[in-house]
Amino acid sequence: MKFSEYSLDPTLQAGIDKLGYTECTPIQVQAIGPILLGQDVAGLAQTGTGKTAAFLVPLMERILRSQNPVEGVDSKRVFPDWKSNHFVLVLVPTRELAEQVYENLTKLGAETQIKGFPIYGGTGYDKQKEALRNGLQFLIATPGRMIDLYKEHLIDLKQVRAIVFDEADRMFDMGFKDDMKYILQRVPQTRQFLVFSATLNFDVLNTAYQFGSEPIELNVSGEQAKAENVHDEIFHVGHHEKPQHLLSLLRSKQPKQAIVFSNFKHNVDRIAKFLNDNGIPASAISSLLTQVQRTKVMQQFKAENEHNILVATDVAARGLDIQGVDLVINYELPNDCESYVHRIGRTGRAGAIGHAASLVCDRDIDSLTRIQEYLKHNLTVGFIEDKDLVKDFKPFPQGEVFIQGALNPGGRE
């Protein structure tokens, strides 16, 4: 189905056209219609499937039609009694996802008068407070900072007309369940309720039901645990062979953009330094960086330059929609299966073919067993010929953190 078939507001359609979007993705086909009619929706879809536009486009359309009613347009498309101080609240688990949703909103609404702003911790309050005072139609926020501003009486949750929980399962994993309930208790019961998640678990749906919502359940992932257009394989190596194999994979595959994942935040800088020492420009991102530093690293990674390799912890595994990533490498396998799916889901987006490689030593075997049981199949075993292994390279920096599941000097993210 095409976006043009929804008879959207001309200014919104102009923004969509400008981005070159014509055909809707499966989650957009399923979600846009019900959301346009004001229905509650629970959408199950992997990242990279277009789910952000699946909720932004119909919500923007409803606001535009509410502001400027047009005869002949379905009356259900409008928010009843929409006023200038009403807004849509989009809740996300991380700062990066808040910025990403805001970026999508800005691009889609380039020809409209719709305004939004990202609200999250780790940065100053001044700009956020100014944006709230100036009025907006979309508030995109992480729960903690949003509640802080609510308690300062800078946000009036009674004015929320639709609430979206994006990456809801991740919010539960990160301990935001009580915050989500706190917010839901304070928004009107008549608000439209949308929840999007890669794994729509019982807790997420139960919360929706608990607060009077009976959402239409949409599932475009079927029984598929991971995206079908990601080719993933494992390389059985000794622990101390990992640096050599990492270097060899990057040099042989020559990715346009790659993300290397580590379980340990103090190991991220060491991996990045090792790559830089060996002539492969790389940047590191983890919770050890300030928000300003993280933003700078992400801007650099997204831009077209030689810094096309990002070394990251799972702080970057969720929500980052970077279309050009063609390779993901797991320096260690994550302990939980869903993190594996989300990590490799950074590649193979928007229909492109992606590749993922995991370096597996004896310390990763338990994780490998869990992941293969979750995927219901054994991962393909790759092999690097001896002639293709890099032999001459500078050593990995000292002080590496690698003891999974135990106390260690670096610690996890």
**pTM: predicted TM-score of the whole model, two decimal places:** 0.64
Reply yes or no on whether the pLDDT at 223 is more than 70.
no
Reply yes or no on whether the pLDDT at 245 is more than 80.
yes
Q: What is the pLDDT of residue 51?
A: 87
Q: DSSP for 41-87?
A: EEEE--TTSSHHHHHHHHHHHHHHHHHS--TTS-GGGSPTT--TT-E
pLDDT in tens, 368-395: 999 998 888 899 999 999 999 999 999 9
Residue appearing with tokens 């055909």: 23
What is the CATH code for 3-219? 3.40.50.300
Banded pLDDT at 404 (limits 50, 70, 90): very low
Reply yes or no on whether the pLDDT at 27 is more than 70.
yes
Here the tokens at position 411 are 């610690």
Q: What is the pLDDT of residue 113?
A: 93
Banded pLDDT at 47 (limits 50, 70, 90): low
Q: What is the pLDDT of residue 318?
A: 55
pLDDT in tens, 164-205: 999 888 888 788 888 989 999 999 999 999 998 876 566 777
What is the CATH code for 230-388? 3.40.50.300
Lowest mean pLDDT among 35-39, 97-101, 202-206, 388-392: 202-206
Reply yes or no on whether the pLDDT at 9 is more than 90.
yes
**Parts of the chain belonging to CATH 3.40.50.300:** 3-219, 230-388
Sign of CA dihedral 241, 341, 232, 311: negative
